[in-house]
Amino acid sequence: MANHFLGGFFVAMLMAAYLKDNILKKAFLKNMLIVIGAATFIGVVWEFSEYIANQILVGPFYRWFQVRTYFMGDLQDTISDLLLDILGATLFTTYHLLRSRKAHEAESRLQNQSNSGAQ
């Protein structure tokens, strides 16, 4: 379970770094939705890959290695995995965007003070 929380957290971190130059300065909600949506998309793709692996690999694993494997849980497991992906992404995105906003405001104040002192 912690894997999905951390997965959402780190995918959001990767997306924020990738979109660093394209993140809108004043659009906090839009930026959150973009990064969290990308992390959720990766989580959904992961759940589909678990489903496909469960459909394709269970039989061969048993034939070749005499090991019963299950790559996917039930619906409750899938929903909790996606929820943890979203929560991890939300935590990182909120922290990152608030921190970026404060840094941007501090940079603006310094720049305004520099411009005031230069005149």
- Residue 23 is classified by DSSP as S
Each domain of the chain, given as residue ranges in start order, spans 2-107
Q: Which residues contact 92 (CB under 8 A, 6 or more apart)?
A: 8, 9, 10, 12, 13, 16, 35
Is residue 119's pLDDT more than 60? no
Is residue 117's pLDDT more than 80? no
Of the candidates 35, 11, 9, the residue with the CA atom closest to the CA atom of residue 22: 35
Tokens 């005149």 belong to which residue? 119
Q: What is the pLDDT of residues 43-54, one digit of tens each?
A: 999 999 988 888
pTM of the model: 0.76
Share of the chain above pLDDT 70, in %: 83
Q: What angle do CA 112, 114, 119 make, to 5 degrees?
A: 100
